[in-house]
Amino acid sequence: MSDVIVVGAGVVGAACAYYAARAGLDVTVVDRGPVAGGTTGAGEGNVLVSDKEPGPELDLALLSNRLWRELDRSVGGFEFEAKGGLVVAETADVRLQLADLAAKQGIQHENVPAHALRDLEPHLADGLAGGVLYPQDAQVQPMLAAARLLRHSAGGRGGRLPGGGAVRLRLGVTVTGLLRSGERVSGVRTDQGDLPGGAVVNAAGTWGGRIAALAGVDLPVQPRRGFILVTEPLGEPLIRHKVYTAAYVTNVASDSADLETSAVIEGTPAGTVLIGASRERVGFDRTTSPPVLARLAAQAVALFPVLRDVRVIRSYCGFRPYCPDHLPVIGADPRAPGLYHACGHEGAGIGLAPATGHLLAQLIQGHRPDLDPHPFRPDRFQAEESR
Amino acid sequence: MLLGDWDLVVIGGGPAGVAGALTAALHGLRVAVVDAGARLGGQYFRHRAAPPHSSTPGFGRFLGQVRALRERAEVLTEHQVWSVTRQVDGRLTVHCAARDGGRERPVALGCRRLLIATGAHDRVLPFPGWDLPGVLTAGGAQALLKGHGVVAGSRVVVAGTGPFLLPVAVGLAEAGARVAGVYEAGGGLGLARHPLRALGKAGEAAGYGVALARHGVPYRTRRAVIAAHGEHELEAVTVARLDRDWRVLGTRRVTCDTLATGYGFIPQIELGVQLGCDTRHDADGSPILAVDHGQRTSVPGVWAAGEPTGVGGWRLAELEGRLAGLSIAAAAAAVAATAPAVAAAAAVPTAANAPVPVPVPVPSVLLRRRRSARAFAAALLEAYPVRSGWQGWLRDDTLVCRCEEVPLARVREAQELGATDARSIKLLARAGMGWCQGRICGYPVACLAGEPPAPPRRPVAQPISLAALAAFDEDGTRTEPHTTEDPA
């Protein structure tokens, strides 16, 4: 029997397993698919502080940013790049708004006047009004990050690191129910037998609502679809930072179910350029939408005309785990003792994963968490409804 | 730019596409044919315009069909289809990138019916040195010869499995190359013992055998090229004697400057997969589009013919193209006849307004011929299977994915890290993420993952410039969802 059963082998589940094991707990990670087979495998690998409004999510992002840097040193092998983010403004008005937001965030930043933009990004289009540089923004390869965290946790003798708990990985195993002893959740039932555990962590991402439903509790996690275009590998890197337009910040915080797109462009160590981002709430529909791809391409070319003749070789889509208030769900569920949640991070799951895992490990051990988890409590939606 | 409202758009101008387009056009349908190549013909009839290649059976007849087609249909060459979508009302849009000089321009064709006749490409297996210049696919060597009249090399080895190796070797020898040997990894006798050999292919094979003998080309079975050698380009290959499962029994070195290698073919079905067409596995495990007796796929308004419905060669492809053309013409006529007043609206088949199943007025002789040709094709696939022993030819540093330069060791490492299927091997090791989108490495990676190859998901079926993609005209119609993962 494990101390902790983590449902979901995406980056959040991997971080939960890592920090729990580091605290000496024995962990079993169970996933119906392979490692990083869900939204993690469709992510760009954003580790962003720049796009967060001041408040609990920004605090979580700052903690996570620090932890990612630590993990790069202690685990490594997932293409961590502290490249910095550059938010650009099309108009003077928008530039003032960006500067205003940056001041309120109170994090490392540098206001960039129009004439200095090309010192940072030589291939930016003409006519931009300036921007803000966030040096803390970074990027990881999310699939490798999840896989390396799990591997590292289970990498020692007997599937454990010295002083750590054992980590076992059960892939291709579907959770079909939860075990109970009295009121308490005491493990998971799977299509390959029961897995008893002291605590169950729901790290099922966009499918987190279904795991919650197995416990008879409601968690309003919904899919918010996004497409990403991938170009052919470039001979030389043309884009140095993660570059996005101010509209991205607005779209991230929007509640609209309709299609929203904004340019988010960055190079990768493989030489390709990733072009996002679109958001729309259309359920789990994977059908490719040429109009969405066309809008992403048009926005990319508008920002970086040098990309005009670069070819797109593929696209992919994923489903961000969206909660109505855009905050993740982290913590014990008072409605189902023994069940913890770590899901609903929308488009920020890669970036927020280490802080989520770290806080959850503290909560499971009954330690005082580094951050107040109250804004992320699982029963907050219910409270709002009954108010 | 949205071009027209066609009764039928045919994707692919090989034997299946041309026969299908011509048949439908002869029945009065307004037809457009798009093809990525500079001229029609596909892989098999990929010839220079003149002089015709006398050694290719059926070429004269094909040229006649192309002439007749050009009088009756719009033929758009150098149009690469990157996406096909189906709107909620059942209308289909074929999104192409057209080459104009050096530039790409987007072209969208609207249509009521679609025929997928996109052929197949070579299936290759990796081995040490296969990325050396001088190593070609069997189809690639033949394409060079047919398309450009180039003799691929002065001293050539042909290796792989399947009857296609024979015409490739004969073509090269007749063009003046010295063919050092044809190495068939299979037993070679599988088909000769098959009762279906009487169907005529045996005669063709015997003809190739005579031609090989005339040029003094040795043909050896249970042999394979398991390594290629050379400093900067190919200088020699290691030829191995194999057991039943293709494990190596012994080796020798053969000097050559060109290797043409092929282990069968992979049907190109990604456009059908984009549309949500049902697939099934062919006799060799290849995913193919499932079609009914009239070549209809599971998606209303979408037909498929030739290799995408199962590799079977140009004769079967042409026959299926004709059958599809007749079936499409019958469907169009039925719609026009049942609802003349609302013909314009009803002519569009939708899921809700499913096409009235009409008896396909196909001469039963054609259906019989297809049945026996399909049986023969299946027998061929069964006679020349790929055996698992090839995985033992690889070394840790052998590239599995050439585009992304992923060696076997990285694939194994990804598996160690929790990649339990081909898709997650791709995500963790980058195999199949490059230019060819897994067309080359998809098969070997699936084998290494221990699973049958999955239907290819390629939302962008062909590379397209960002400028051309950005210029895409939104027509305001919503694409019908079909790949909803789970309704819950």
Neighboring chain B residues of A41 at a CB cutoff of 8 Å? 423-424, 427
Domain B2-121+266-380 sits in which CATH superfamily? Answer: FAD/NAD(P)-binding domain (3.50.50.60)
Q: Mutate which of B469, B474, B482, B483 to disrupt the A interface (most A C-beta within 10 Å)?
A: B469
Sequence length of chain B is 488
SS3 for A3? strand
For residue B479, the 8-state DSSP code is B
Minimal CA separation from B187 to chain A, in Å: 38
Residues of chain A with CATH 3.50.50.60: 2-76+142-221+325-386
The two counts, helices (H) then strands (E), for chain A are 10, 18
A345-to-A10, A353, B268, B273 alpha-carbon distances in Å: 12, 9, 38, 31
**Quick check: B204 pLDDT over 60?**
yes
Residues of chain A with CATH 3.30.9.10: 85-135+222-322
Does A270 contact chain B (CB < 8 Å)?
yes
**Quick check: B350 pLDDT over 60?**
no
DSSP A147-191: HHHHHHHT-SGGGB-TTSPBEEEEET--EEEEEEETTEEEEEEEB
Q: Which of residues 206-235 of A touch B (CB under 8 A)?
A: 210, 229-233
**Quick check: B175 pLDDT over 90?**
no
- Using CB atoms within 10 A of its CB, is residue B247 exposed (0-12), middle (13-18) or buried (19+)? middle
Q: What ipTM does this complex have?
A: 0.91
pLDDT tens across B430-459, in order? 999 998 999 999 999 999 999 999 999 999
pLDDT tens across B118-137, in order? 999 999 999 999 999 999 99
Place of tokens 């009762």: B195
Quick check: B466 and A285 CB within 8 A? no
pLDDT band at residue B474 using 50, 70 and 90 as cut-offs: low
Does A366 contact chain B (CB < 8 Å)?
no
The answer to whether domain A2-76+142-221+325-386 has CATH 3.40.50.2000 is: no
Neighboring chain B residues of A170 at a CB cutoff of 8 Å? none
The answer to whether domain B124-263 has CATH 3.50.50.60 is: yes
**Quick check: B90 pLDDT over 70?**
yes
What's the pLDDT score for residue B83?
Answer: 94
pLDDT band at residue B405 using 50, 70 and 90 as cut-offs: very high
Mean pLDDT of B477-482: 54
What's the pLDDT score for residue B39?
Answer: 86
Quick check: A143 and B427 CB within 8 A? yes
**Quick check: B320 pLDDT over 50?**
yes
pLDDT band at residue B479 using 50, 70 and 90 as cut-offs: low
Quick check: B464 and A289 CB within 8 A? no
**Of all residues in chain B, what percent are helix, strand and coil, respectively (each to 5)?**
35, 25, 45
What's the pLDDT score for residue B198?
Answer: 45
- B445 — phi, psi (to 5°)? -65, -40
Minimal CA separation from B431 to chain A, in Å: 12
Rg (CA), chain A: 21
Q: Which of A272-276, B99-103, B160-164, B401-405 has the lowest mean pLDDT?
A: B99-103
In the CATH hierarchy, which top-level class contains the domain B395-449?
Answer: mainly alpha
pLDDT tens across A201-255, in order? 999 999 999 999 999 999 999 999 999 999 999 988 899 999 999 887 777 777 7
Q: Which residue of A has its CA nearest to B479?
A: A289
What's the pLDDT score for residue B58?
Answer: 83
Question: Above pLDDT 90, what percent of chain B?
Answer: 65
A259's tokens:
């299609």
Cβ–Cβ < 8 Å for B157, B180: yes
Sheet holding A222-231, edge to edge: A110-113, A130-134, A85-89, A242-245, A260-267, A273-279, A222-231, A311-322, B464-465
Neighboring chain B residues of A144 at a CB cutoff of 8 Å? 417, 428
Secondary structure element (H or E) that encloses residue A64, with its range:
helix A56-74
CA distance B39 to B26: 21
Mean pLDDT of B368-396: 93
Quote the pTM value: 0.90
What's the pLDDT score for residue A322?
Answer: 95
CA distance A354 to A73: 14
Neighboring chain B residues of A297 at a CB cutoff of 8 Å? 466-467, 469-470, 472
Minimal CA separation from B104 to chain A, in Å: 9
Of A36, A148, A290, the CB nearest to B83: A290
pLDDT tens across A290-347, in order? 889 999 999 999 999 999 999 999 999 999 999 999 999 999 999 999 999 999 999 9
pLDDT tens across B242-272, in order? 999 999 999 999 999 999 999 999 999 999 9
Question: Above pLDDT 70, what percent of chain B?
Answer: 84
Residues of chain B with CATH 1.10.10.1100: 395-449
For residue A49, the 8-state DSSP code is S
**Quick check: B52 pLDDT over 50?**
no
DSSP B456-474: P--SS-S-EEHHHHHTPPP
What's the pLDDT score for residue B145?
Answer: 79
Quick check: B83 and A9 CB within 8 A? no
Q: How many CB contacts within 8 angstroms connect chain A with chain B?
A: 146
Minimal CA separation from A87 to chain B, in Å: 22
What's the pLDDT score for residue B200?
Answer: 54
**Quick check: A387 pLDDT over 60?**
no
Residues of chain B with CATH 3.50.50.60: 2-121+266-380, 124-263
Minimal CA separation from B326 to chain A, in Å: 30
What's the pLDDT score for residue B202?
Answer: 61
**Quick check: B150 pLDDT over 70?**
no
Of B404, B427, B466, the CB nearest to A301: B466
- The CATH-assigned architecture of domain A85-135+222-322 is 2-Layer Sandwich (3.30)
Does A313 contact chain B (CB < 8 Å)?
yes
What's the pLDDT score for residue B280?
Answer: 97
